[in-house]
Structures are given as C-alpha cells and as structure tokens.
Amino acid sequence: MPVASLAARVVGQARTTLRRNERLRGGVVAAKDAAWQARVALGALRGGGIVVEDEYGIALYLPPGERDRLRSLMRRPGDRPAFALMDRLLGAGDVVFDVGANLGVYSVHAQRNVGPSGRVFAFEAVPATADRLAQTLALNGATDVQVVRAAVAETAGTATMHVFDDPACGWNSLGDHPMYGYDRGAVRPSSTVEVPAITLDGFADERHLDRVALCKIDVEGFERHVFAGASGLLAEHRIGVLCFEISEDALVGEGGTPAEVFAALDVHGYRTFRHDEPTDTLVGPIDLDAEQRRLATETQRPYVANYFSTAQPALLTASPA
C-alpha cells in the first residue's frame, strides 16, 4: 500500500476513534488548549512584558511600556462591588454577557462562578484589544469564555470604533470625542477601525439564550444604545442584573444625560441602584432626575459612578448567604 494511502487510512481510523470515545476526545481537546495557553504565555514573556496577578488571582500580561499601570491593575476598588455581586449571584450553568470586555477580568471571574456548564460571552470590538482579551483568558485557563469580536449597538451592521493608544484602550468607543484625566489633559483617539455591529436581542436569539443572569456593560457613554438593542430581552425581563458605569466625560461626548440612561431601563420595569463608595452599600432604587442632580453637584470631576439595575430588586438586596 502506498505510504500516502496508509497515512490517510491511519488518520481516518484515529478520527473515528476520537468521535466514538468522548473521554479520549476530551483529553485531546484539553491537551490542545493547554498547549495553546502555554504558547500564548511564552509569547507574552518573550515580548519583554511581565505577568502579574491581581487581588482576585487573575493573571494579566503587562507590556514593557505599561509598567506604570501595575498598581491600578493589581488593585481595582471600582470593580469590587460587581465582583462581590458575581460571587453571590452567579451559579453553575448561568449565562453572562461582558459587553466591552476590554482585558477580560470580568469574564475570567464570571467563568469561575458559572463553571463549565455556564456560558460567558465577552464582547470586544477593537481587534487589538480583543487579542489582549484572548491573551488574558489563555493565561487564566478561561478558554471556555467565548470572545465575540463585534460592537454591541442599537442596530446590527457595521460600526466605526474610535481607538485610543494603549494604555488608554479602555476609552475605545463609538464616539470621536476626547477623554480627560483628572489633570484635565485632553486625550484623543489616534485611529479608527470598522467592525461588525450586533444587538444583544439578535445575539440571544441566534444562540437560543433564554435568560442572562448578569450583563456587565462598559461602553464609554454608549450604554443606552446597548439597552436599545436589548429591548426585547429587557421587556421580557430576561436579564437578571445589569451593571454599568456612568462616566461624565464619556456621556457628555455621546450627547446624553444620566437620566436618559436610567430611563432606558426604567421604561422596562428595571430599578437602578447606585453603589455608594463611602459605605460600600447599594443605594436605591434611585429617582432618575434626583440622581442626575446629585451627579451634577459632585465635587470630584469628572464624576464616575457604578450602578446596578434589575426588575427583581431582591437579587440586589438579599443578604449574602
């Protein structure tokens, strides 16, 4: 028998064996995943960067030019309320949406809570940032998380993303407005990229997802566009809890107001709570207009605040087990 024919026969037999033996097939897949994760980690280290571990035990790759971000990556007080909620709210088999996943820390933490029977979808539109997201997932063995390389918007199609140079990639958005640090120095996008755009309604229908336990949104001022594209899910209360941020500069650049963001959820029966940093508690349900007035009087500018919204307030107000 010719060598080529013999080789083809052996390969065919091997594939048949794998199809019939689920345990063996799972072992092969796991081995491939482990090898891929090792290649990603090795490639990161060869690039001259370092891998650090944050307060939640999440490994993050830090490129050579971003060493000054070390402290802010390792300790992130603003994430603690959402991470605590994930620990209490999520369980095996749950579905999580991480919209604007950036480096992927929320996705990693969510995957740890929902386990192999759960599903975590990490939406990241900018290709370079999505690559770093995939890198974080690989470093943490969270390859069950599904990376969705698309912008989440009000309508499906295409979208223009305005891209900031690293380490400011967290400001990437659909808007071309500048962002400002606490020194009030303006930082502008350096480039644009055309990307696919999807809606959460359409995505949930395509994947036959009946319920989303948690939807985290970090889209730099374009939250109400995400909500508009999820109107079906929201109207049917198929999202348990939404967590999002109101950032003054981002929202002003988008052209909206905090009250408009809250109203986009309130119309569907969702009630919104604010995380109060001094007391580390959730305050609410908030009054939409009163909260907008409160933000306008904040002494620290630009203001940034974290919010949680649900049609079932008991999900947020229940005491930890």
The pLDDT assigned to 249 comes to 80
Residue spans of the domains in the chain: they are: 76-317
- What pTM was estimated for this model as a whole? 0.81
Q: What's the pLDDT band for 172 if we cut at 50, 70, 90? A: low
What burial letters (b/e) apply to 38-67, b meaning 16+ CB within 10 Å?
Answer: eebbeebeeeebeeeebeeebbbbbeeeee
168 compared with 283, residue with greater pLDDT: 283
CA distance 192 to 101: 19
Given a cut of 90, whether residue 162 has pLDDT beyond it is: no
> pLDDT digit string (tens) for 233-286?
999 999 999 999 998 888 887 889 999 999 999 999 999 999 998 899 999 999
pLDDT > 70? residue 321: no
36 compared with 306, residue with greater pLDDT? 306
Report pLDDT digits (tens) over 4-51: 454 456 445 655 554 555 555 445 545 554 554 555 555 555 557 788
What is the pLDDT, as a whole number, of residue 263? 97
Q: Give residue 300's pLDDT band: very low, low, confident or very high (50, 70, 90).
A: confident
Q: Which of 12, 147, 35 is nearest to 27 (CA)?
A: 35
Q: Which residues pair with 98 in a beta bridge?
A: 122, 216
Q: Which of 138-147, 179-188, 243-252, 267-276 has the lowest mean pLDDT?
A: 179-188
User: Is 285 in a helix, a strand, or coil?
Assistant: coil
Per-residue pLDDT averaged across 206-235, rounded? Answer: 95
Q: Choose which CATH entry (3.40.50.150, 2.30.110.10, 3.50.50.60, 2.40.128.20) describes domain 76-317.
A: 3.40.50.150
pLDDT, tens only, 48-87: 778 888 989 999 988 877 766 677 777 887 889 999 999 9
Work out the average pLDDT over 88-115.
96
Residue holding tokens 């997932």?
Answer: 137
Instruction: Please say whether the beta carbons of 98 and 136 come within 8 A.
Output: no
Comparing 14-28, 105-119, 125-139, 174-188, the range with the smallest average pLDDT is 14-28
Enter the tokens of residue 274.
Answer: 């604010």
